[in-house]
Amino acid sequence: MEVNLGILLTLLLVVVPFWKICERAGFSGWLAFLVMVPLVNIGFLFYLGFADWPRDRNLPPS
């Protein structure tokens, strides 16, 4: 029971917010599950922070 509760809490507290961030940035929400993989999550955070977001590609230059 404790393991299932831990997985559910992790999904709610970590994956769901990253899912929303990915969707708002223009990426697939499924990328949020990369946060669950050790070491890959750090690379994903750098990618999310420094990559050109698809959402911003359609905006006129400022």
Cα distances (angstroms) measured from residue 14 to each of 2, 31, 34, 36, 56? 18, 12, 11, 8, 25
Domain extent listing, the chain: 2-52
Condensed to tens digits (0 to 9), the pLDDT of residues 2-60 reads 678 888 888 889 999 999 999 999 899 999 999 989 899 999 999 999 988 888 777 67
Residue 51 half-sphere exposure toward CB, CA atoms < 13 A: 13
Rounded to the nearest 5 percent, the helix, strand and coil shares of the chain are 75, 0, 25
- Provide the whole-model pTM: 0.77
**Which residue type, as a one-letter code, is found at position 30?**
W
